[in-house]
Amino acid sequence: MKFNKTTEAESKYQDLDKMELNEILKNINKEDKLVPVAVEKAIPQIEKLTEQIVLKLKKGGRLVYIGAGTSGRLGIVDASECPPTFGVEDNLVIALIAGGDKAIRKAVENAEDSITQGWKDLNEININHKDVVIGIAASGTTPYVVSTLKKCNENNITTGCITCNTNSPLGMTAKFPIEINVGPEFLTSSSRMKAGTAQKLVLNMISTTTMILLGKVKGNKMIDMQLSNEKLVDRGTKMIVEELNVDYNTAKILLNKYKSVRNSIENYKKTGLI
């Protein structure tokens, strides 16, 4: 099957270094507007993968992102936000990056080229058939990611991917591929731009939808969020006020006693007492 690496195709724009500031910004924005349209076309693929994730997590499995460079960092951002946003355990959504934690801030030379390290990294977290592993790679060719998904397939572990090239090695390897063809980047081959934006949007869709379907949201509120600062305590208190139709002080007392929005609402409805 033909494979065109559009993420590395020549930019539609020439002489970027001769453009005026305003022209650069407008052209970047013009390209960015294409991203949500490309993501919309991939919704059927996103739905199929998310359905598998929900099924696995309901049976005690985990969601694992694995990537390199920008793709790996985007996975880390999404995974790290799940506990504070939805109150889940730190090990429910896990992100691994080629080169380890030091690669989060600085590039690690040749880390993405290993065809064995990814599987070793998964074994460090005791990967098993209950889990779902999503490979994230804009190009769809990163050896660290592609080789890891192949090993997952061999071991009966559900695999998905997020890539911005169609018919890539990664897309052909994943059992549930997501392919978002955003076209050439404004800056040739700089896949941290449109491709990175597309990956972030899809990760948001996957994790948020999964958590909603797992019952971590009530109405449109994050009732299981961690109350890690005053801003979130205030937000949680206002949620209780709205849900129970009590005054702010009563809601604050409930939250201090029961330590979460969900527990505060459920216990008050159950007993009517503070």
Q: How far apart are CA 48 and CA 176, in angstroms?
A: 7
Catalytic site includes residue 81 = yes
Helices (H), the chain: 21-32, 34-41, 43-58, 69-86, 117-124, 143-154, 169-173, 194-213, 230-244, 248-258, 261-271
Q: What are the distances in angstroms from CA 271 to CA 159, 239, 259, 262, 264?
A: 45, 19, 17, 14, 11
| 176-179 vs 63-67, strand pairing mode | unpaired
Q: How many CB atoms lie within 10 A of CB 74?
A: 26
Selected catalytic residue, list 23, 40, 112, 266: 112
Burial class of residue 262 (count of CB atoms within 10 Å of its CB; 0-12, 13-18, 19+)? buried
Catalytic residue among 8, 47, 51, 81: 81
Closest among 163, 139, 108, 130 to 55, alpha carbons compared? 130
Q: Which residues are catalytic?
A: 81, 112
